[in-house]
A = this chain, B = another copy of it.
Amino acid sequence: MSSSQALDPQEAARNALAQSRSRQLLDAAARLMEREGSEAVSMQALATEAGVSVGLIYRYFGNKDDVLLAVITDVLDAFSAKVPIAVAEAGEDPVRKLAAAFTAYCHVIDEHRHAAVLTYRESKSLDEEGRARIKQLEVETSQPLRDALHDGVAAGRLTAADPDLVAYNLLLLAHAWALKHWYFERTMTLERYIQAQLGLTLRGVISPKSRRSYADLLEP
């Protein structure tokens, strides 16, 4: 009720504080996971890293799973923030938009590698309602990929029996950069990874007559 407009200054201040505290903690969590691995995130360690007390975390998050959920959500938020922009900059061509979206996904994943892995961990609350939220967010944030694919199909540039599966696969391949980083880092850079995976996927869905137009994307 008081959320959208006419917020009294006290509440506004409170919200701003909550916002900045969340940011502070989420950033600390990211740093911690980057430095020590995502197993090392204990509440105590998180508090120390963020420069606050343990108790304070519980003022802004209900429990540890809430924090983890927020970390994951944070990554998904980065998707919503960056992918649409990248898509918009790619112009009107749906295939170029698709490529731009995938590239942006991969870059975000690369910047949050350890947080991205979290999604694949089973934790108590993530089974109940957290799982549902993540699912929904994941679907929402993969919308740009789906849109570009559908556009491409509509425009006759792509041929895909199940565009949603292709979109999901691309998401998966972006995640795979984090999940299997120990494997890929031995043979590839991120840019090379993006190019190679994009090429493979596109070769499976591009319509024959459009091949020539996207030779740069298809030829590795």
Binding site for B on A (CB under 8 A): 37-39, 117, 120-124, 127, 131, 135, 138, 160-162, 164-166, 168-169, 172-173, 176, 179-180, 182-183, 187, 196-197, 199-205, 220
Contact = CB atoms under 8 A, between A and B. Distances in A.
Contacts of A204: 200-204
A123 to B, nearest CB: 7
B165 A172 contact: no
26 contacts: A37-B122, A37-B127, A38-B122, A39-B121, A39-B122, A39-B123, A120-B120, A120-B121, A120-B179, A121-B121, A135-B182, A135-B183, A160-B200, A161-B220, A164-B187, A165-B200, A166-B200, A168-B180, A168-B183, A169-B173, A169-B197, A172-B180, A200-B201, A201-B204, A202-B204, A203-B203
Contact of A162 (B122, B183, B220): B220
A113 B29 CA distance: 29
Number of copies: 4
A201 B166 CA distance: 10
Contact of A196 (B120, B162, B197): B162
B123 A120 contact: no
Given A120-B117, A172-B172, A204-B204, A161 B39 contact: no
Contacts of A135: 182-183
Given A39-B124, A169-B197, 9 more contacts: A39-B121, A117-B120, A121-B121, A161-B199, A165-B196, A165-B200, A168-B183, A169-B173, A202-B204
Nearest to A127: B37
